[in-house]
Structure 1
Amino acid sequence: MFNRIHKEIVENLLSSITLSMGGDGAEHSFLFGPPGARLWERRLGVTIYYHSVELNLTALQVRSVGANYLRALPLDEICSNLKHFISENFDYIGDVVFGNRDQRPFNEWIPEANKAALAAALAACHLFKPRSELTVFPLVPVSVGSSFVSDQYFFSSPHEENPFFLEDQQQMRELDPRVFPPQLGFAGKVRRPGAWLGVYSPDYRASLKTRSSVLGALALTALPDYRHMFSGRELFGGRCTISKNGLTYSFEKVHTPPCMHDIEITDIDAGWMKTLSDKLRSPDSEVLRELKALEYFYRAWSLSPEERFPILCMSLDAVLGDSNNATQAVIDGVNSILGNDIPQGQLRALLGLRASVIHGGAPDVYDSSKYPKYYKQYGCDPIRDLELVVSACLREKIFGGQLAEHPDPNAEIIKAAQDAGRLPPTTRSVSIFNPKA
């Protein structure tokens, strides 16, 4: 059933179409027939002209009010989808257009009944009611002790009986989930993932954005000292889309950095994963900002400290939703999430360094005069402090405290070293959350 939005989009789309080239018309010739007709059933041909400004504005509108996956597509592709929609459904207006010589935009002379038929077709098409496909990503430094599955994404072990949670058993028999690519009998070199991340989406590019948000959240589970502790282990990337049309896969860059210790997914992660799944389904603008914040945090995960700093600033700005990026507004936002227990002078100094970097005063954070001043006054690294603040804000704002950091994988070794006097009684570093006396 169509509504006012669909009618408005059809009106705007028709305003971009004429029967003459004019000053900027782009020609589009095609055969048409009844909606759903196969190529050999299309007996009539027509030539129309699209005008780029009106078409692009309509595409932007569709991007903002259509299915969520459209936000991951280039504007040109949404324009192409709109053109395809017109050619597939031209029969609804064909009897009016065929033989007509009116030079005005279509919206000015197409009857309302024909527009309503187009609006109904638009409401039912993939721009508003898409069909999801499964895209799986192989992960190396991740292990799954307890799998998680929702209608948005899943984590699973390659050694489960049905790690892709497929209902089609015949399709499952054609796969080998223990390896990537998971094509049974693949003749090339195969790799063995430690875990699978699966994402349900109509387009693989939207799946990549969801992957980034999910793995950004997963990075929050690692203790700060281990999050960027990388080894020389060999990684591999890639993706594989499984649909009714078959299997498609590609070899791409890795999805995680080479973490020294595997991130193990267990039952304690189910709560925040369910919350994230609910947010991935939401069209709310505040929720979309939260997902962007997780994307930024994911992007910062594999970077060196000086490159990580500005991306963490973007993550903080995204989760706070401040439009002018003023330092005081960011301070107020952090306090509103974490309370006023953080030393306010130290927080102001930290976010003053943020202002220097994002406003062009110091493209490299190490070049800022505020960096050594902060280190000298507070006895801790401002890059690490910023990450502590950002991660705390993300955990509290997005997950309401559900997302807890995983236990220290070396806890027993550290305890033994402390008991033997080889390590100090406490290994907790000085930071903005543990200021020096």
Structure 2
Amino acid sequence: MVETITAFFQDINSFLWGPVMLVFLLGTGVWLTLQLRFIQVRHLGKGFKLTFAPLFKKEKSEGINSFKALATSISAQVGTGNLAGVATAIASGGPGAIFWMWISSFFGMATIFSEAILAQKYRVKKGSHFVGGPAYYIRDGLGSRWLAGFFAIAIIIALGFIGNMVQSNAITVAMNQAIGVDSLPINLVIGVIIAFFVGLILFGGISRISNFAGNVVPFMALLYIGGSLIILISYADQIIPTLQLIVQAAISPEAAAGGALGATIKEAIRYGIARGLFSNEAGMGSTPHAHAVAEVKHPTHQGLVAMVGVFIDTVIICTLTAMVVLLTNAHQSGLEGSAITQEGFARGLGSFGIPFIAICLLFFAFTTILGWAYFGEVNVKFLFGDQAVGVYRSVVLIFIVTGSLVQVDFVWEIADTFNALMVIPNILALLGLTKVIKSTWQQTL
């Protein structure tokens, strides 16, 4: 039965996530980059200033500043995909896939800038906080209620339920590997503990989520960056040749043919772009929910901050993962997914590498659960009102516990399908509201 369901969704995903979807997503990024005159080149520096300025200012209100909103966004962006996704891209597309991952992040900055602007522009006030996201700008910007509802249902299922089930499973697997024990009772205990702490934060609402993310995300990122840099320093003499290999494998047929697993340029482009888009979530319609709540002087300010999120996620963290994998030759170990990355850190840090990755996965997956649960919650409110939030949160916790108990390989296929169903209406909105994006940006020039 499971095999039949898996095969069914694999067929759907081979169509949805084929070249058409990649062109659809990347093409939108190119289009918005041209319309905004390469904003990610001219104004990324300003984005960094706007991002970190709140850290050096005394809070004037109890609202959510741009940094906390970005931290909530990054908490969802930086997850197991940064470890498993990068490793998979290299294993399937060769070293050249990383070059195309950089390309996807470059154009993705323009996409996420546009998403954040629309999220700010079409947000609504609910109590003491704002709320917004694609469902709101699809309904109020495009004027399509049914398409907004379609998006809302897709993200609730893809991220709120199934996605969080996968994340809790990733935590359980990492803990099992760290302690060397894998049994159903222990997995149940791990799942209940995860659900308990998620519930404590989730039932506190967006303020508690953003405060938690604002404190944990910097620590999470610095921990992973620090461990990666230690390995890079020990392989310092191989850094330049490895970077050359990445570029050569991306553009040279000879280099690609002689690369890892004999990957072709076509495969490098496909897997590099696909994994890059999955990692930074630009165009998927998830992170705008976090950017909508920020209290900023102008929507474009949060758009610039949003670009920083893609830079941190892909250009910094994904690149570090790729360098560790390639420098240690972990991609030639015959392993798959996150096990490749874990092998790289084990080779680079010795016996400490395995618990190190387990700790990083714990933080990555846990914060992703919080971000995704909140994104789903916004859309539950959009469809059913505040009265349905308690039920939704309880169901999320059930999925978290369930995820710790089952093998969820087939669930990824279901999640991929609903991820694609999120992308389509969101991209249509970005294309349909390009004039609004441009005019809003021009107001600040």
Tell me the TM-score normalised to structure 2 length.
Answer: 0.17
Q: Which has the higher strand share?
A: 1
Larger radius of gyration between Structure 1 and Structure 2: 1
Higher RCO (CA-CA < 8 Å; seq separation 6+): 2
TM-score (norm 1): 0.17
Q: Which has the higher helix share?
A: 2
